[in-house]
Amino acid sequence: MRMTGAEILINCLLEQGVDTIFGFPGGAVLNIYDALYKYQDKIRHILTSHEQGAAHAADGYARASGKVGVCLATSGPGATNLVTGIATAYMDSIPMVAITGNVASNLLGKDSFQEVDITGITMPITKHNFVVRNVNDLADIVRKAFKIAKEGRPGPVLIDIPKDITAQVTDYEPKEKEEPAKCTKTIRDEDVEKALELINESKKPIIYAGGGVCSSEASEELLELAEKLNSPVTLSLMGMGAFPATHDLYTGMVGMHGTKTSNLAVTQCDLLIAIGARFSDRVISRLDRFAPNAKILHIDIDEAEVNKNVIAEHHIIGDAKEVLKRLNKGIVTKDRSQWLRFIKDLKQKYPLQYSGNGLSPQYILNKIYELTNGNAIIATEVGQHQIWTAQYYKFTKPRLFISSGGLGTMGFGLGASIGASIARPSKKVFNIAGDGSFRMNLNELATAVEYNVPVIVVIMNNHALGMVRQWQNMFYDGRYSQTTLDRCTDFVKLAEAFGAVGFNLTEESQVESTLKEAMSLGRPVVINCEIDRDLKVWPMVPPGAALEEVIVGESDIGN
């Protein structure tokens, strides 16, 4: 059948199972938006307040659902406004397809109005990107983009379409969606056997799991491995939910803000089994003293990650779910009671604990967990509140924690929470924010209100850029350069101005009733929580220190 390029694009999106697009129109994508108008009964478009919000919403949609998120922007500034969102998805291996319009083909490279080389700009932050130069190639490019976004290590793909391509007419033949194959060809029997030797010989193993376990839907296999092995489990920030935080074998997060139990366990173990994790600098801290007594077994889908930051004794390349299935068949259950007693003693000696004056963010997070039975989707912005969330909300399943881990994108959470709520409308969705991060993209409240997306924004308002202030306090002799936010913004009135509901919290006695009311409304809500400006995130490994030198509170400083 004969169709315009714009109509072919929409039909290819429908082939891929796309039901929602997040975007913002402009001149270069007018033909695409005209096609969306014709197909509005089949594909939903969410008009965000800003293209960055569209990218973050597509990202949150993907993280919550496991599907490919889709965002759409016009040329020039519309396209560049997607860049931070694309980079965020790239760093965290999130499948996303970003579609941008561009000036007509004959105007490319001539500094035309609203022209930018978006494929050149995004080359380092996409798995692949395309410029469509022939309308006859458009359908296959769209299909390839979705396959690339999902196969292997997931990530974002960009398709740039000049305006004339969207207007040209050609033949379109529908095709069945091609599901990307699981990455199993690289899993060799001899590698599995060698890994089993290391595992079965170990006396003090620890499992370090990351976001790859969530991406591959391998949490059940991870649980089976841990229980068969009698091994403690620690998670990266991106791994939250890969292993239930309520399980006796869970030791908490590892790294700069990991528990002392996890950090000491990694330091003392004789085998570190890393699964779907990339050994980021926030995890390893001081490299020459990271897991000094351990052999490292690295299981990852991306061979480029192996031996990049730490040297592994052995590795297996492939899909984590399939690797763990094969390993679990060969695990020999051994008595590791002495190692587990050591871990239990550490957990009792160094529990996560908090203190401070007035309203406590940890109390609020524990109350959200209690009232939602741990089944809510929790998105975050970036800062102290993000780490408190990872520490104190007990994630028991994957795809419930949505946060910018690798890039650390302030302003991520609101758009991402909107996307997550649209992906999974039966779930309660919270965005845990700091006042600094929230200000960056608070305009997306208008999006939440327009589409009645019932996200609950909880602002841990310390009137400061809290994490940066903490560093200034600890390492810059209290010189608080540009981190104090004594602004006159009334977040309750702001919420009401957007058409949302606003609450103000100053005491712990208000928390439960306010949360219950917010959850009952079925509308966007902003809860401003006035917390102490000088609250800190503990534990913390100082820069240049080893994991075992983790500080658990003010009393440790200087010791």
Catalytic residues: 51, 113-114, 163, 467
Count how many Cα atoms sit within 13 Å of the Cα of residue 335 in the half-sphere of its side chain: 1
Q: Which residue type sits at 485?
A: L
Structure tokens, 115? 């022209």
Q: Is 520 strand, coil or helix? A: helix
Residue given tokens 């599901």 in the structure block? 179
Structure tokens, 549? 């030198």
Residue 286, φ and ψ in degrees, nearest 5: -85, 110
CB 480 within 8 A of CB 472: yes
Let me know if 377 is exposed, middle or buried by CB neighbors in 10 A (0-12, 13-18, 19+).
Answer: buried
Across-strand partners of 169?
4
Dihedral, CA atoms, 260, 261, 266, 272, nearest 10 degrees? -140
Structure tokens, 187? 């899993």
**194-199 long-range contacts, CB within 8 A, separation 24+:** 194/314, 195/297, 195/299, 195/314, 195/316, 195/327, 196/327, 196/330, 196/331, 198/271, 198/295, 198/297, 198/313, 198/314, 199/229, 199/271, 199/273, 199/297, 199/327, 199/331
Which of 551, 22, 558, 556 minimizes the C-alpha distance to 260?
A: 551
Distance, in Å, from the CA atom of 66 to the CA atom of 314, rounded to the nearest integer, reads: 30
Distance, in Å, from the CA atom of 260 to the CA atom of 511, rounded to the nearest integer, reads: 29
Distances (CA, A) of 417 to 8, 241, 421, 423, 461: 30, 17, 6, 10, 19
Distances (CA, A) of 465 to 415, 460, 473, 503: 20, 11, 12, 22
Which positions ≥6 away from 16 have C-beta within 8 Å? 68, 142, 143, 146, 177
Dihedral, CA atoms, 76, 82, 83, 88, nearest 10 degrees? 180
